[in-house]
Structure 1
């Protein structure tokens, strides 16, 4: 199974927002990083923002 490379995203948020994110992630048995990814995907879907997915040939070139 091919693995997809990931990118690092560093952000600053107020402590109470970080705690809310941690609580949301915990309630869904997710990591904070995965919770952020899910929230981004849901936001994009709700607002008709396309998320490009790499093709198989793109992934092979990265390897």
Structure 2
């Protein structure tokens, strides 16, 4: 994914989870934002979550059933 990032997200988490994220990001030499993006992409790949062609169907998301 080498596209320009134009969408922002604001979220809240416990200080413990933030520290875990910081440690994981440091271990991988990533920023917090990049680590979050990486984790989301890895989760989606693992669980079969993917975007469908948005040109014809909108921002529909498909995923495996039964999970």
TM-score by length of 2: 0.69
Residue ranges of structure 2 left out of the alignment (5+ in a row) = 56-67
Q: Say which structure is richer in strand.
A: 2
| Contact 1:44/1:50 (8 A) holds in 2 | yes
Residue ranges of structure 1 left out of the alignment (5+ in a row) = 56-63
Higher relative contact order (CA 8 A, sep 6+): 1
RMSD: 2.4
Number of residue pairs matched? 54
Aligned to 1:40: 40
TM-score by length of 1: 0.73
Q: Say which structure is richer in helix.
A: 1
